């Protein structure tokens, strides 16, 4: 709407007429004098449009600005709250999770970016979703698989993600872990061909065959995950996901309070 030549009233200068409007500056003529004001802020206290339609138009603009400011404040407050929560996350040396994908479906996970921790197989809660009590936003979720006729020792890593910023494992009653909107990585078939899961763990089974067992996921250490993420970043080094991998590692390191020196280390142990 054009408000040039519309009549206004100022509590000090009296009656005037808008003579120009340039971005965030409005010019009003009061008799022989011209005064400049910030638009639309001047209409909050100093200027009043005498014509109702024009006044409603400017009030609508001001309301829109105020709404954007309110949304910005709320967003900043939420971000501050999330940052505070992430800084106070429980720290455990053994809270990373590897998923077998005997219960989950790979295609569904790629589409929905979530995984189930499976069900209790015995006891009072048999058949009910497991509670991922150790999984928090600083627990990376490692996605693994093996071919139908392949030995367990040939299990490969095909993806990894960080949980959503507000994921609290002990409060998860449906057993579904949802991925962070940004920190999620999938490896191509060629990229994962030599990325074997069990090479990151010592075989403490006295020479027996490696076995995963009947559970859908296993916990393992932060430092072992650090080594895995480092290798994934190396595999992705010459791809368009290089920067994402680096940011992923920084995010993981920050939430788990790992120094760059410690993050570069790799610790071999058996997952539980």
Domain holding 25, by residue range, is 7-87
Q: Answer with the residue of higher pLDDT: 266 or 160.
A: 160
Predicted pLDDT at 115: 97
Predicted pLDDT at 23: 86
Q: Answer with the residue of higher pLDDT: 270 or 103.
A: 103
CATH number assigned to the domain comprising residue 166: 3.10.590
Examine the domain organization and report whether 78 and 128 are in the same domain: no
Examine the domain organization and report whether 48 and 126 are in the same domain: no
* Residue 77 within any structural domain of the chain: yes
* Residue 195 within any structural domain of the chain: yes
Predicted pLDDT at 262: 53
Q: Answer with the residue of higher pLDDT: 235 or 124.
A: 235
Residue range 205-231: average pLDDT?
A: 85
**Confidence band of 270 (pLDDT split at 50, 70, 90):** low
Instruction: Judge whether residue 109 has pLDDT over 90.
Output: yes
Q: Answer with the residue of higher pLDDT: 163 or 272.
A: 163
In sequence order, which residues have a C-beta less than 8 Å from that of residue 212 and are 6 or more positions away?
A: 100, 102, 152, 155, 218
Tell me how many domains the chain contains.
2
Predicted pLDDT at 204: 47
Predicted pLDDT at 180: 96
* Residue 271 within any structural domain of the chain: no
Examine the domain organization and report whether 37 and 154 are in the same domain: no
Residue range 138-159: average pLDDT?
A: 94
Q: Which two tokens stand for residue 172?
A: 């998860």
State pLDDT tens for residues 4-37. 999 999 999 999 999 999 989 999 999 999 999 9
Examine the domain organization and report whether 44 and 140 are in the same domain: no
Q: Answer with the residue of higher pLDDT: 240 or 94.
A: 240
Average pLDDT, the chain: 90
**Confidence band of 249 (pLDDT split at 50, 70, 90):** very high
> At 34, phi and psi to the nearest 5?
-120, 140
* Residue 270 within any structural domain of the chain: no
Predicted pLDDT at 57: 95
Examine the domain organization and report whether 135 and 257 are in the same domain: yes
Instruction: Judge whether residue 206 has pLDDT over 80.
Output: no
Predicted pLDDT at 261: 58
Examine the domain organization and report whether 110 and 186 are in the same domain: yes
Examine the domain organization and report whether 50 and 17 are in the same domain: yes
State pLDDT tens for residues 176-186. 999 999 999 99
> At 244, phi and psi to the nearest 5?
-60, -45
Examine the domain organization and report whether 256 and 122 are in the same domain: yes
Instruction: Judge whether residue 174 has pLDDT over 70.
Output: yes
Instruction: Judge whether residue 90 has pLDDT over 80.
Output: no
Residue range 165-187: average pLDDT?
A: 95
Q: Which of 61, 87, 113 is the last residue of a domain?
A: 87
Examine the domain organization and report whether 117 and 158 are in the same domain: yes
Examine the domain organization and report whether 244 and 129 are in the same domain: yes
Examine the domain organization and report whether 130 and 256 are in the same domain: yes
Tell whether omega for the bond before 40 is within 30 degrees of 0, i.e. cis.
Answer: yes
Q: Which of 44, 65, 87 is the last residue of a domain?
A: 87
Q: How far apart are CA 49 and CA 139, in angstroms?
A: 58
* Residue 272 within any structural domain of the chain: no
Q: Are 163 and 178 in contact (CB under 8 A)?
A: yes
State pLDDT tens for residues 29-72. 999 999 999 999 999 999 999 999 999 999 999 999 999 999 99
* Residue 52 within any structural domain of the chain: yes
Examine the domain organization and report whether 127 and 250 are in the same domain: yes
* Residue 138 within any structural domain of the chain: yes
Q: Which of 45, 60, 87 is the last residue of a domain?
A: 87
* Residue 1 within any structural domain of the chain: no
Q: How far apart are CA 236 and CA 249, in angstroms?
A: 13
């Amino acid at each position: 709407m054009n408000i040039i030549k519309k009549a206004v009233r100022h509590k000090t200068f009296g009656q005037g007429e808008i003579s120009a409007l340039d971005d965030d500056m409005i010019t009003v003529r009061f008799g022989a004098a011209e005064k400049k004001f910030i638009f639309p802020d001047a209409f909050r206290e100093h200027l009043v449009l005498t014509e109702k339609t024009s006044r409603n138009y400017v009030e609508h603009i001001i309301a829109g600005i105020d709404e954007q400011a309110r949304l910005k404040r709320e967003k900043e407050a939420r971000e501050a709250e999330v940052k505070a929560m992430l800084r106070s996350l429980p720290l455990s040396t053994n809270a990373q999770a590897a998923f077998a994908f005997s219960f989950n479906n790979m295609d569904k996970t790629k589409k929905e970016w979530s995984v189930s921790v499976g069900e209790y197989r015995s006891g009072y809660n048999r058949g009910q979703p497991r509670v991922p009590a150790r999984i928090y936003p600083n627990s990376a979720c490692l996605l693994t698989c093996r071919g139908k006729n392949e030995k367990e020792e040939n299990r490969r890593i095909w993806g990894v993600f960080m949980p959503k910023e507000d994921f609290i494992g002990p409060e998860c009653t449906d057993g579904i872990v949802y991925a962070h909107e940004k920190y999620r990585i999938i490896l191509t078939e060629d990229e994962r061909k030599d990325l074997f899961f069990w090479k990151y763990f010592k075989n403490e089974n006295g020479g027996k065959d490696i076995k995963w067992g009947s559970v859908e996921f296993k916990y393992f250490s932060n430092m072992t995950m650090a080594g895995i993420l480092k290798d994934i970043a190396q595999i992705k080094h010459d791809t368009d996901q290089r920067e994402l991998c680096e940011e992923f590692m920084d995010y993981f390191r920050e939430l788990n309070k790992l120094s760059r020196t410690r993050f570069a280390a790799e610790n071999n142990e058996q997952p539980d």
